[in-house]
Chain A
């Protein structure tokens, strides 16, 4: 099935560091969502973006809807151990169509 290009695949960082990850597509999307998934659990919604150029924050998390509508970025500032998990981007081309997911970025934080 189709998946978005998400990078990096994995990251190993020290507690307190900032993290950046991104998601790209060859197609235009009208919605971008970022989820976090812990082992054995379902994805939990972190941030939703609906307009090109939109910048939205949720605590230490900030995500942006790329101006070309073909990409999105997620930043985590001052990482803590509980940030560990797999982060997925998901996009939707138009209302009512299926969400398409990236392959995920696995984040490891050492204290």
Chain B
């Protein structure tokens, strides 16, 4: 069975641009969460989506938004990119909203110049 997949694997953008990152959860999983991981730190929670609705949001500015589609895949959008947005963006999927166990994808490495 395929695990969590993310695209693209790497991305280079310039300040002020917009970026869209994509995630496909494990088959049968209905919840997707997004995390930002900067170098040397643990992942920081950004959003959780379940059944196409936002169920949780971390301490990130409104430049960050996300959505979940009927097939449970998800997109993370970041507007007006800043240098500090450079990070590994991780998607995690879980069976249900309670999300007792989350499985991570390989991440998208974003570099903002």
Q: A41-B107, A96-B56, A98-B58 are in contact. Are A31 and B100 (CB under 8 A)?
A: yes
Chain A's nearest CB lies how many Å from the CB of B6? 8
**Binary CB contact string for chain A from 36 to 56 against chain B (1 if under 8 A, 0 otherwise):** 000011111100101000000
Interface band, chain A:
20 to 34
Chain B's nearest CB lies how many Å from the CB of A46? 11
CB under 8 Å from chain B, chain A span 88-108: 88, 90, 92, 95-104
Task: Decide if A98 touches B107 in the complex (CB within 8 Å).
Answer: no
Grouping DSSP codes into helix (H, G, I), strand (E, B) and loop, the B interface class, with mixed when no group exceeds half, is: loop
Task: Decide if B45 touches A44 in the complex (CB within 8 Å).
Answer: no
A-B pairs, 9 with minimum CB distance = A101-B42, A98-B45, A95-B98, A42-B104, A1-B44, A42-B106, A43-B104, A42-B107, A48-B101
Residues in chain A within 8 A of chain B (CB atoms)? 1, 3-4, 6, 31, 33, 35, 40-45, 48, 50, 88, 90, 92, 95-104
